[in-house]
A and B are shown apart, each in its own frame.
Chain A
Amino acid sequence: MDDAGTIIAFYVLAGMTIGSALGVVVVRNLIHAVIALIGTFAGLAGLFVTLSADFIAITQILIYIGAISILFLFAIVLTPQSGRNNQETFLRFPALALSGLVLAVLVYVAVDTKWNVTEQDGFAETAGTIGELLLDKYVLPFEIASVLLLVAVLGSIVLVRPEPAEED
């Protein structure tokens, strides 16, 4: 896995991910920010590919680019008078501090963890393995996630349901 191609790909993709993630924060136009977010997702999917996690990579594209970004776009466009521009807010510095904190924690964990390095090849078929794990070892979190989604669906239906007419 340590051939030149993978390493180059890793740095290119990492640059793309971080660059567009920065774009999300910096760009003023909300729609442009969503585009940058799509770039982040795509970069992330590429990173998964370099880890030979192709199922996760494809799912990343399917769910995040195909659905989540659309959700953002809908939320931006359909909110009346949402305005398309980010305004300066006083929350800027607290947010910066918070994200700095998160970064510090992540870096610390990444450095501190003893990463297992195995000589074993990547999974040939990741989908099957993930499926088995989901329905076997991690069935409880999986089911809880399903219930959560169901509640979310019901909630959104209740939200958009037109009120029954008062008259007649």
Chain B
Amino acid sequence: MTIKSEPFVVNIGPQHPSTHGVFRLRLTLDGEKIIDADMVMGYLHRSMEKLAEERTYTQNIPFTDRTDYLAAMTGNLAYVMAVEKLMRVEVPERALWLRTIMAELQRIASHAMAVGIFANDCGAWQTPVMHMFRDREKILDLFEMACGARLTLNYMRIGGVSKDIPPEWMPQARKLLKDLPKRFEEYEDLLLNNEIIIARSRGIGTLTPEQATSYSVSGPMLRASGVAWDVRKADPYGAYDKVDFDIAVGRHGDVYDRFVVRVAEMRQSLRILEQALDMIPEGPVHARLGTATVQPWGQPVAPLAYRPPVGEAYARIESPRGELGYYIVSDGSPAPFRFHIRSPSFINLSPLKLMSVGMTVADAIVILGSVDIVVGEVDR
């Protein structure tokens, strides 16, 4: 005979210190053990997909900032790539390199947050987060120099980027690149070898490669499960085919490996950046778009708007959180007919129940932290 306590339901969220936004997790508990987990989302649902159907292609770029607000660059990039695919635009070389550089800087900033917040979820009282913030601030400074914004960047444009980087950008970026490896070493020392973090995250929330693939998991979570899949390598966009880097892959697919993969990816991003800063060519940063696609619309005023041909395009990139895809259907009008975001945060949540049933409340928090969701992107 076993003694069981009465199962009871705990709502983690929508207002809770570690749901990373307004996300709600309904846990049914037997004591501290989770017997059922249900996700409730939509508290940040802004209906972007509907809104985008009434805005021109350029007007939609700011929306993509506001999905994954911790990685606005990659959001921009995926969207403009989808539109470029639809319009068959050839992007100038320098713009491709700039996109690559920005995306990698954004990856470092985003992973730094992920790693720091993960340590916070493990119970380290703010210290790792604050250290990560220090590096992220420096990167945001670079973004500010390039485009004037720090968080919602709106930097990418259909056919290139909004403007070239100022001359003093390069020296500052190089200085940052020189500083970062030392810091990363420190973090790896303090966090990766931390006995308590290892005890808290080893063997928790394990996903096998088969499970991860079947549950459509992508990004660091998929790679932590041992699948070497990185869109940057598998289907290089931007200038990724010209730089040398490795895919970081985990061993056991648990929470700890997701953490390790993110740390390793920050290193790889540094590697890419070091090469990219040397290899970036001079030239225009915006494609010249023919009048065939740029036509006046509406009455009585007639501003110019892109009119992609009828058809559909699906472009996906490797955002810090995983495979970020934009599916755009055009009917020849200046606004997308259908605008769908395949958001990695949202889809990476699908195995949450699988991972957390049988664990304790504390584990559920760590697992949720390891998924690294941004609620803006989950709910869109």
Q: How far is the CA of A163 from the CA of B6 in the complex (A)?
A: 18
**B3 CB-CB contact with A under 8 Å:** yes
* Chain A residues, Cβ within 8 Å of B4: 80
Q: Is the CB of B6 within 8 A of A160?
A: no
How many A residues, CB 8 Å from partner? 8
CB of A81 closer than 8 Å to a CB of B? yes
Pairwise interchain contact A80-B1, C-beta atoms closer than 8 A: no
Query: How far apart are A109's CB and chain B's nearest CB, in angstroms?
Result: 41
Q: Which chain B positions have C-beta within 8 A of A78?
A: 5
- A78 vs B31: C-alpha distance when bound (angstroms): 9
Taking the complex as formed, is A162 at the interface, i.e. its CB lies under 8 A from any CB of chain B?
yes
Task: Pick the contact of B6: A80, A159, A161, A162 (CB < 8 A).
Answer: A80
Bound Cα distance from A92 to B365, whole angstroms: 49
B-chain residues with CB within 8 Å of residue A160 when the two chains form the complex = 2-3
* B233 CB → nearest A CB, Å: 41
Return B96 CB to nearest CB of chain A, in Å. 55
**What residues of chain A lie closer than 8 Å to B5, measured between beta carbons?**
78, 80
User: Smallest CB–CB gap between B7 and chain A, Å?
Assistant: 9
Shortest distance between the CB of B28 and any CB in chain A (Å): 14
Chain A minimum-CB-distance residue to B4? A80
Q: A residues within 8 A CB of B6?
A: 80-81
Q: Which of B1-33 contact A (CB under 8 A)?
A: 1-6
What is the total of A-B residue contacts with beta carbons within 8 Å?
Answer: 13
**Does more than half of chain A's interface fall in helix, strand or loop, or is it mixed?**
loop
- Which residue from chain B places its CB closest to the CB of A82 in the assembled complex? B6
B127 nearest CB across to chain A (Å): 34
Kindly identify which residue among A80, A81, A163 contacts B2, using a CB–CB cutoff of 8 Å: A163
Q: Mark A75-110, 1 if CB is under 8 A from B, else 0.
A: 000101100000000000000000000000000000
What is the bound-complex CA distance between A5 and B128, given in angstroms? 58
- Distance from B349 Cβ to chain A, minimum over Cβ atoms (Å): 30
Q: Which residues of A contact B1 (CB under 8 A)?
A: 159, 163
Of chain A, the residue at the smallest CB distance from B7 is A80
Cα-based distance from A80 to B5 in the complex (angstroms):
6
Q: Report the nearest B residue to A78, measured CB to CB.
A: B5
Q: Nearest chain-B residue to A162 (Cβ)?
A: B2
Q: Which residues of B contact A81 (CB under 8 A)?
A: 6
Expressed in whole angstroms, the Cα–Cα distance for A159 and B1 within the complex equals: 7
Give A21 to B24 CA distance when docked, in angstroms.
46
Measured in the bound complex, the distance between the Cα atoms of B5 and A163 in whole Å is 16
Nearest Cβ in chain A — how far from B6, in angstroms?
4
User: What are the interface flags for A129-168 relative to B under an 8 Å C-beta threshold, 1 for contact and 0 otherwise?
Assistant: 0000000000000000000000000000001111100000
Considering the chains assembled together, what is the distance between the CA atoms of A28 and B256 in angstroms? 50
- Determine the residue in chain A with the shortest Cβ distance to B2: A162
Q: Closest Cβ of chain B: how far from A154's Cβ, in Å?
A: 16
A159 to B2, CA, bound (A): 7
Across-interface contacts of A80 in B (CB, < 8 A)? 4-6
- In the bound complex, what is the Cα–Cα distance between A25 and B277 (angstroms)? 80
In Å, the complex CA distance between A159 and B3 comes to: 7
> Which chain B residues border A163 with CB–CB below 8 Å?
1-2
Whole-angstrom distance between the alpha carbons of A164 and B4 in the complex?
15
- In B170-196, the 8 Å CB interface with A consists of none
Name the residue on B nearest A156 (C-beta): B3
In the assembled complex, the Cα of A161 lies from the Cα of B1 at a distance in Å of 8
Closest Cβ of chain B to A43, distance in Å, is 33
CA gap between A162 and B5 in the complex, in Å: 13
**Bound: A15/B3 CA distance, A:** 40
Which parts of A60-76 form the interface with B (CB within 8 Å)? none
Q: CA of A80 to CA of B2 in the docked complex: distance in angstroms?
A: 13
- Give the docked Cα–Cα distance between A78 and B3 (Å): 10
How far is B2's CA from A160's CA once the two chains are assembled, in angstroms?
Answer: 5
Tell me the complex Cα distance, A161–B6, Å: 17
CB contacts (< 8 Å) of A159 on chain B: these are: 1, 3
Complex CA–CA separation, A160 to B31 (angstroms): 13
A161 to B2, CA, bound (A): 6
Closest to A77 in B: B5
In the assembled complex, the CB of A155 is this many whole angstroms from the nearest CB of chain B, namely: 12
A84 CB to closest chain B CB (Å) equals 13
- A-B residue pairs, 10 tightest by C-beta: A80-B6, A162-B2, A160-B3, A78-B5, A163-B2, A159-B3, A80-B5, A81-B6, A160-B2, A159-B1
What are 13 A-B pairs at a CB distance below 8 A?
A78-B5, A80-B4, A80-B5, A80-B6, A81-B6, A159-B1, A159-B3, A160-B2, A160-B3, A161-B2, A162-B2, A163-B1, A163-B2
Given pairs A78-B5, A80-B4, A163-B1, 6 additional interface contacts (CB within 8 A): A80-B5, A80-B6, A81-B6, A159-B3, A161-B2, A163-B2
List the interface of chain A (C-beta within 8 A of B).
Answer: 78, 80-81, 159-163
Residues in chain B within 8 A of chain A (CB atoms) = 1-6
